[in-house]
Amino acid sequence: MVIRSDVPGGGGLALVQKLRGSAHTALTRVVALLDGSPLEKHEYQRWGVEACLHCPVDDAAVVRALKTPAEPLTTSPNAPAAILENPSRRKALERSGLLDSPPEELFDRVTRLAATLLEVPTVLMTIVDNQRQFFKSHVGLPEPVARARETPLSYSFCQWVVADDDALIVADTRQHPLLRLNPSTTEMGVVAYAGVPIRSSDVEPIGSLCAIDSKPRLWSDAELSSLRNAAAVIEGITALRQASRLGPICWAESREVAAAGGRAVASGVRLLQDVGSRMSDVQKRELLEIVGTLGSQLESTASRDGGE
């Protein structure tokens, strides 16, 4: 791909950053055509641009740069540190209080329900920092990972969900140009993966809710809708949990929490409407209890902080 530094919509560097932040395009070869200073060239190279050519440049030079063989991959690269270490995301991660926190039944109920609805052996609620992924809740993890409740970032697919702030849907990771070398594929037998973002109440991506299968799988629209609804429920639980943990919050924060809680209640109701026929009576009762708990917490937060 050839990118000019003056491309509309934020400039060429913003486009390169977007490419490098997605698992689908992270390995795209880029030749950048620059008009600026050596500092500009350094920034493009920092984001993995293979060749930087200063304008004006002839077509033959661009073709030569594109034909230069790329170094073969021996390991799966991590998502860009500059994205994972973004100060606003790190602040949201810290405020959530989820990293290294003990298991909580309300989250576990949602992951168990998601595993049943998608008929997968493994569902993870993953919180991602700049060095590891922490499993706040999980179904189907093998030992010793289940006991450790974390893996290094090098094992993480969820880091790409966070970096791109978008879903990552893969039918067969063994055929994916980037994920095929990830140790989760080569060592742990992860084959099919579907992950959607978990965002904080201030909409920063802090993790992912993902479903995993050990065989190739085409994920249906209905399955992905259920996964997104389950993630919205988790976001509501997270926002209300954070509000309770931090004590009185300002009016703007209270509105954010109320919005996340409201989306969670609505998503829980949609799950019941869309796939309630596939749930057992116990699962329906659990989902209604989750929605009821969210509603009670939302009411409590509104009455406590409404006057702040």
Q: What pLDDT does 251 receive?
A: 62
Is the pLDDT higher at 23 or at 257?
A: 23
Q: Is the pLDDT of residue 193 over 70?
A: yes
Q: Is the pLDDT of residue 209 over 90?
A: yes
Residue 306 — pLDDT band, cuts 50, 70, 90?
low
- Calpha distance 256→201 (Å, rounded): 6
The pairing of strands 51-54 and 168-170 is: unpaired
For 113-124, how does the pLDDT look when each residue is reduced to its tens digit (9 = 90+)? Answer: 999 999 999 999
Query: What percentage of the chain reaches a pLDDT higher than 70?
Result: 95
Q: Is the pLDDT of residue 42 over 60?
A: yes
State if pTM tops 0.85: yes
Residue 249 — pLDDT band, cuts 50, 70, 90?
low
Question: Encoding tokens for residue 253?
Answer: 């924060």
Q: What pLDDT does 65 receive?
A: 81
Q: What integer is the mean pLDDT of 262-275?
A: 93
Q: What integer is the mean pLDDT of 21-44?
A: 87
- What are the chain's domains? 2-67 (3.40.50.2300), 81-305 (3.30.450.40)
Spell out the SS3 assignment of the chain. CEEECCCCCCCHHHHHHHHHCCCCCCCCCCEEEECCCHHHHHHHHHCCCCEEEECCCCHHHHHHHHHCCCCCCCCCCCCCHHHHCCHHHHHHHHHHCCCCCCCCHHHHHHHHHHHHHHCCCEEEEEEECCCEEEEEEEECCCCCHHHHCEEEHHHCCHHHHHHHCCCEEECCHHHCCCHHHCHHHHCCCCCEEEEEEEECCCCCEEEEEEEEECCCCCCCHHHHHHHHHHHHHHHHHHHHHHHHHHCCCCHHHHHHHHHHHHHHHHHHHHHHHHHHHHCCHHHHHHHHHHHHHHHHHHHHHHHHHCCC
Q: What pLDDT does 308 receive?
A: 46
Is the pLDDT higher at 195 or at 67?
A: 195
Residue 307 — pLDDT band, cuts 50, 70, 90?
very low
For 125-137, how does the pLDDT look when each residue is reduced to its tens digit (9 = 90+)? Answer: 999 999 999 999 9
For 80-110, how does the pLDDT look when each residue is reduced to its tens digit (9 = 90+)? Answer: 999 999 999 999 999 999 999 999 999 999 9
Residue 190 — pLDDT band, cuts 50, 70, 90?
very high
Q: What integer is the mean pLDDT of 164-183?
A: 96
Residue 247 — pLDDT band, cuts 50, 70, 90?
low
Is the pLDDT higher at 57 or at 193?
A: 193
83 half-sphere exposure, CB direction, 13 A CA radius: 25
Q: What pLDDT does 55 receive?
A: 83
Q: What pLDDT does 36 receive?
A: 72
Output the average pLDDT for the chain: 90
Backbone phi, then psi, for 36, in 5-degree steps? -105, -150
Q: Is the pLDDT of residue 28 over 50?
A: yes
Q: What pLDDT does 304 receive?
A: 65
Q: What integer is the mean pLDDT of 163-181?
A: 96
